[in-house]
Amino acid sequence: MKYRKFGKIDYKPSALGFGAMRLPIIGGDQTKIDEPQAIKMIRHAIDHGVNYVDTAYPYHGGESEKLVGKALRDGYRERVKLVTKMPTFLVKERGDFDKYLDEQLGKLQTDHLDFYLLHGLRKERWPILKQLGVFNWAEQKIREGVIRHLGFSFHDNLPLFKEIVDSYRGWTLCQIQLNYMDTEYQAGLEGLRYAAARGLAVVIMEPIKGGKLAVTPPKDVQEVWTKSERKRTPAEWALQWVWNLPEVSVVLSGMSEMKHVEENLEYADRSGVGSLTKYELALYDEARDAYNKLGFIGCTGCRYCMPCPQGVEIPTILGLYNEYYMSGQGDEVKNKYWQQITPETHSTNCVACGQCEEKCPQHLPIRKFMGETSRMFPQPEKPKQ
């Protein structure tokens, strides 16, 4: 395992961090984690050098923190830095700070958190937290030893990101979305460098864009990668781009199979700042252009939009929308759509209430896409009797 710098503090994090957002599940139910397999995966990663484990209050419908707590028994807790996040979207009054922190410590079976992040800061949440005195509260918890370091994760525009970075001298880290498709999206590369220049460790989420950059790419994109003498999987191309950046401290990966863990451990072992050639970096520009011409949607499958009040299976539908355009708009994807989507979860049930768009960290026009998919994937006609 390779290890990197972590801002101003004396800690060398593993290049690969374990993100407990996409753990293996049973029967397609996000709240039913396959516990034996998930625990085995987390411990395997730690046994092979991973020392940074990240979770959050809403992951897997509130079950991720419980699973991580179980996985870190038997001496594993002492071998990692444990990270979780304040559910800022639930905070209404100052007493909620303690309420949720105490609940999280119980789920994680620990008496302290190495890093506690204000989750998913956006322009709607940020003023509320400041008004409630979140920094005074956090400093008290740091003095008590319950929280060792404070940070934030972010989903909004670059000016707000800079404002938040500059608002508090006590930040240790921030977590941002970054991959070779999102260089100017949200905080982007400029935000990465801005935070790092001010001494913050920068943790990267969605380096593979929710798995979208790991699947077999469209023909036009695959032709770009074949130009390289060095052969990599699509997932490794995505990860190595982020690891190549000197300002990056940790790259999180949400892994749902042991195969993903083993592959990512190998990729991390080959990682390094400046390891990509100028020619290879130019290939990323070509791949990005090819994806954009095909109509790439920025959904990462985070499922923050769920549950839909009307039962629409939004993330799966958006994934199939992407696949339809990137595969040449063939009937195969239409058939696949009706293997995965039922009439009850079809986009025709969308009433355009907008709740999903309010919760979407990517700020996607989901209602627009639901209208398009209802036309792209009409319900098959019932056979005549």
Tell me the one-letter amino acid at 163: E
Bridge partners for 82 per DSSP: 53
pLDDT at 162: 98
Average pLDDT over every residue of 16-37: 94
Domain boundaries defined on the chain: 16-292, 314-376
Look at 332 and 233; give whichever has higher pLDDT: 233
Q: Give the predicted TM-score (pTM) of the model.
A: 0.84
pLDDT in tens, 253-301: 999 999 999 999 999 999 999 999 999 999 999 999 988 887 666 677 7
CB 209 within 8 A of CB 298: yes
pLDDT at 238: 96
Tallying the residues shown for the chain, one arrives at 385
Q: What is the DSSP string of 179-203?
A: -TT-TTSTTHHHHHHHHHHTT-EEE
pLDDT at 375: 75
Residue 139 has pLDDT above 70, yes or no: yes
Q: Which residues contact 118 (CB under 8 A, 6 or more apart)?
A: 85, 86, 88, 129, 134, 150, 151, 152, 153
Beta strand segments in the chain, E: 16-19, 25-26, 29-33, 52-54, 81-86, 113-121, 147-154, 171-177, 201-205, 248-254
Tokens linked to 220: 């036009």
pLDDT at 326: 62
pLDDT at 271: 97
Interatomic CA distance for residues 349 and 369, integer angstroms: 13
Instruction: Say if domain 16-292 classifies as CATH 3.20.20.100.
Output: yes
